[in-house]
Amino acid sequence: MSEKPRDVELIIPMIPEMELTASKTAEALGQFMKLDHDSIDEIKLALIEACINAFEHSDSDDGNVSITFEISDEALTIQISDAGHGFDVSHARQKLQERRDAGTQTRGWGLQIMEELMDEVRIESGESGTIITIVKRR
Amino acid sequence: MTVAQDTQQVQQEFERVQFELNHRLVQLEVLYQAGMVLSASLASDELQADFMRLAVGAVDARSGFLFRRADTDALFELIEATDDVDGLSLASQALQQAMAAALIAQEPAALTSEDLPGVAGAHVVVVPIGDNVCLGVIDKESRKGVTPFTEMDLQLLSMMGQQAGVVLDNARLFHRMEAERNLTGGILDSVEAGVVSTDLRGNILRSNPVAARILGRPSEELPGVSIVELLRAGGCTRLADAVGQTLMDGASRVVEQETMTPTDVQLNARITGLRTPDQELGGAVIAIEDLTDRFRLESMFKQYASDQVVDMLLSSGHVPALGGEMCEATVLFVDTVGSTELLGRIGGAEMVTLINECFTELVEIVLGHGGTLDKYTGDGFMAVFGAPLARPDDTTRSIRCALDVLASMEHFNESREHRLDIKIGISRGQVVAGNIGSPRRMEYSVIGPDVVLAARLCDMAAAGQILVSSDVQEQLGDDVAREHLGRHIFKGMRESMDVFRVHPSGAICSYEPDTSAVIEDRVALDVPMTTNMEVVVSRTARAVGENLGLAADVIDEIIAALVEACINAFEHSKSKSARLRLEFVPSPEALTIVVSDQGHGFDVADALSRIRARRERGEMRRGWGLELIGEFMDDMHIESGPEGTTLTLIKNREPQQPREKQTHG
């Protein structure tokens, strides 16, 4: 756990609908930061997407998702991390794009939704897991 | 008078004398027989019954009875009667008075049915036996039918009564002496020190088995032997001199660190003058303490561990320290199920008998598996594997022991009217082992968190279940079937613990060691101690509650308790990290929330008492937090110390099926 005094850290098990718990925490933090309703709704949707992605694809050993909410005067930054097997981000983006172009893609819009809802989305993935960072500026 | 008349008279006189002699002979025979019967046994009850039958036969009576009274003012109580006598018919006041009179006069009394209305018989003789017992015989039977008892019968009964009275008094005296001797002998035999008493010349009067062992002579050979000479011959010259001096002046003395050479026993001894009731010096008592390891071990463990364990300890050269020592041990708790309810049904006496019979069998099984009985816990007990002697297979032996204990209970219950069920909890970890207690009462025991965990596992188990911790589970072979029951937070523990159930039959379910199966279902939240952050906590708690399907009012209560807990911590913890950590740990039975800060802690008992005092004085406006939390939750524990404060809140829930985590890729 971080020692930064203004961070909030949440660990949730990969259990169905547990992403809603994360979204409620995010909602409360958005209100705590006095963000507007639309921004809060967008944060909640993006976070839910990130959590479900981790639940479905991480194949994590410990079965948990760790979420850090970093509160600052400029933004709310949320890091969603799992201890799964990770993936090649650029390769995945390329494959998704190809399937989308070919019209065979029906799911897997999560990443795109996150990017549209948030001001910034970063993905780091490796053998020890994946960290998705989503940022909402004030 | 003619010669013929003379001859006839002489003949008649001869026949009368012969009859009388014959009768006397019979009397003597009866008295001899009575003496044989009476001296054959010193058991009062048997004596009285035998004596009554003898008396009935000796005077050809139809029936007989025996009464006794506790003291001179009490009514007589029937203690024995021939089968044909109705006890009720004997309970007349007239008979009571007649017997009381016979006891006072110490003479037999012949009575008739007119004297004793209601007693079924025409003729009755009551005979005193000693000061408190009365024998009665009813109706002399002969070829002529029922006749009164003769003067000779009365004489015979009187003599028999006197004879029996003396024997009964002796029997009572013997019993009293025997009881006192048993008590003294029991005390002497049970003390761990050797004890020898001597007369004024130093000749041994009594000794206990420990003394005989230390002195190296069989107990039966010791009486009459000079203790001073025996000690001097054994090399204990200081002790021999000290005994000699005490026999002269009666003063108490202590001798330390001498060795009795023939038995190689190192000893300390205390000598005390033995005084008669009029304070005359009559001899000495010597209490000898054996300082050798074997004796210390045996006295420490003889009730708790098998001889095998004591022997192994001695051969291993590892003698447990008198103080505590850290070691790794497996702790097993056994508890009975529903004993309170059973106690209500069968009563205390039968319950104690049942429990004693049960534990006698179970403790033998524990000792048989090399376990050490640590203590009885009311209607359960605690055993340890690995202390005082660690063995590589401590845990597997504890499991085999638990399985055997469960199996033996089935057998135990088969032959009994009332079923007794038990449950078992086993944990393994670092413990402190040693003599624990106060100087008045020290016992070898183990303490530590895993002792508490084993007790909690036992509490959690249902009838017939064995629950074990993960440390125990990890040491079990593939042949032991077990299942993972999830993680649980136990009272007084900060971390949630994996719980496993061991199945008696390998066929039920085999545990596959799989790390992915041991995953935590808990939600953890770490927040800064910032104003309004309790709202974030409460929203998260609501979402967790909803996810678990808790009712709205239950969630409201949890939130109310949590908000109080957060504000308390924010305001009072003085935490350097200024952070509060919450863990929501669901189980099928409850949602446990552990709230911990890294503040400076507080004295919980003192705080509660100060709050109570201020409330009673009417000065209390705030500080209701703890009380409110207690009201909202089903259970609450506080632990506080320099490392911080941990508040464990428990809300019970309706039993649910545990949900599975998503594992598909």
Q: What confidence tens digit (pLDDT) does each residue in B281-292 have?
A: 888 889 888 877
Residue B506's pLDDT is what?
Answer: 44
**Is residue A98 scored above 80 in pLDDT?**
no
CA–centroid distance for B454 within its chain: 23
Nearest to A8 among B527, B578, B664 (CB): B527
Q: Do B540 and A10 touch (CB under 8 A)?
A: yes
* Residues of chain A with C-beta less than 8 angstroms from the C-beta of B532: 32
Tell me what pLDDT residue A3 has: 47
Residue at token pair 């003769």: B150
- Please tell me which residue of chain B has the smallest CA distance to A5: B528
pLDDT of residue B299: 58
B103-112's contacts with Cβ under 8 Å and 24+ in sequence apart are: B103/B128, B103/B131, B103/B132, B103/B134, B107/B158, B108/B154, B108/B157, B108/B158, B108/B161, B110/B148, B110/B149, B110/B154, B112/B148
Which residues on B lie below 8 Å from A59 (Cβ)? 663, 665
Distance from CA of A9 to the nearest CA of B (A): 5
Question: Is B523 within 8 Å of A55 when comparing Cβ atoms?
Answer: no
In this predicted structure, what is the pLDDT of residue B235?
Answer: 92
Which of A8, A53, A60, A70 to mutate to probe the B interface, most B CBs <10 Å? A8
CB contact under 8 A, B539 and A59: no
pLDDT at B492: 65
Task: Please spell the DSSP secondary structure of B69-99, one letter per residue.
Answer: -SSTTSPPEEEEE-TTS-GGGG--HHHHHHH
The verdict on a CB contact (< 8 Å) between A63 and B516 is yes
Q: Which of B520, B522, B526, B657 is the best mutation test for A, with the most CBs of A within 10 A?
A: B526
Q: Which residues partner with B499 through β-bridges?
A: B469
> Which amino acid would we find at residue A116?
E
CA of A83 to nearest chain B CA: how many angstroms apart? Answer: 12
Residue A48 has pLDDT above 70, yes or no: yes
pLDDT at B512: 38
CB-based contact B547 A18, cutoff 8 Å: yes
Give B542's contacts in chain A (Cβ within 8 Å): 24
Cross-chain Cβ contact A59/B546 below 8 Å: no
A3 chain-B contacts, CB cut-off 8 A:
577, 579
Is residue B446 within 8 A of residue B374, CB to CB? The reply is yes
Task: Give B-chain residues touching A55 at CB under 8 angstroms.
Answer: 662
| Cβ atoms of B430 and B325 closer than 8 Å | no
From A61, which residue of chain B is nearest by alpha-carbon distance?
B516
CB contact under 8 A, B532 and A57: no
* Interface touch B579/A29, C-beta < 8 Å: no
- Rounded mean pLDDT for each run of 10 residues along chain B, 665 residues in total: 77 78 68 61 63 83 84 76 71 80 87 74 85 85 82 84 77 69 60 84 89 89 92 93 92 88 87 82 87 62 58 58 76 89 82 88 89 84 86 90 92 86 93 70 76 90 90 86 80 75 59 37 90 91 90 92 90 86 86 88 73 66 68 82 84 63 44
**Measured between CB atoms, which of A10, A15, A29 is closest to B661?**
A15
Considering only CB atoms, which residues of chain B are within 8 Å of chain A? Answer: 515-516, 519-528, 530, 532-533, 535-536, 538-540, 542-544, 546-547, 577-579, 581, 659, 661-665
The DSSP annotation for A12-71 comes to EES-TTHHHHHHHHHHHHHHHTT--HHHHHHHHHHHHHHHHHHHHH---SS-EEEEEEEE
| Res B665: pLDDT | 34
- pLDDT, tens only, A112-132: 888 889 999 998 888 888 999
A19 neighbourhood in chain B, CB within 8 Å: none
Closest CA relative to residue A58, chosen from A127, A119, A129: A129
Query: Nearest residue of A to residue B575 by CA position?
Result: A5
Q: What is the pLDDT of residue B657?
A: 47
Task: Write the CA distances from B547 to A16, B562, B629, B657, integer angstroms.
Answer: 9, 17, 22, 13
Q: Which of B50, B46, B31, B56 has its CA nearest to residue B136?
A: B56
User: Mean pLDDT of all residues in chain B?
Assistant: 80
Query: How many other β-carbons are positioned within 10 Å of the β-carbon of residue B59?
Result: 21
Separation of alpha carbons B272 and B286, rounded Å:
6
Which of B528, B532, B539 shows the shortest C-beta gap to A27? B539
Q: Tell me whether strands B466-469 and B421-438 are parallel, antiparallel or unpaired.
A: parallel
- Strand B133-142, strand A7-13: pairing: unpaired
Please choose, from the candidates B96, B90, B151, the residue with its C-alpha nearest in 3D space to the C-alpha of residue B121: B90
Give the pLDDT confidence of B165-212 residue by residue, as tens digits. Answer: 777 777 777 767 666 666 555 566 656 778 888 998 999 988 888 899
Task: Write out chain A residues lying below 8 Å of B577, CB-based.
Answer: 3, 5
- Give the gap in angstroms from C-alpha A55 to the nearest C-alpha of chain B: 6
In which band, very low, low, confident or very high, does the pLDDT at A28 lie, cut at 50, 70 and 90? Answer: very high
Is the model's pLDDT at A94 over the cut of 90?
no
- Backbone dihedral angles phi then psi of residue B76, each to the nearest 5 degrees: -75, 150
**Number of Cβ atoms within 10 Å of the Cβ of B541:** 26
Q: Give the model's pLDDT for residue B537.
A: 94
CA-nearest residue to B514 within chain A is A61
How close, in Å, is residue A116 to chain B by CA atoms? Answer: 25
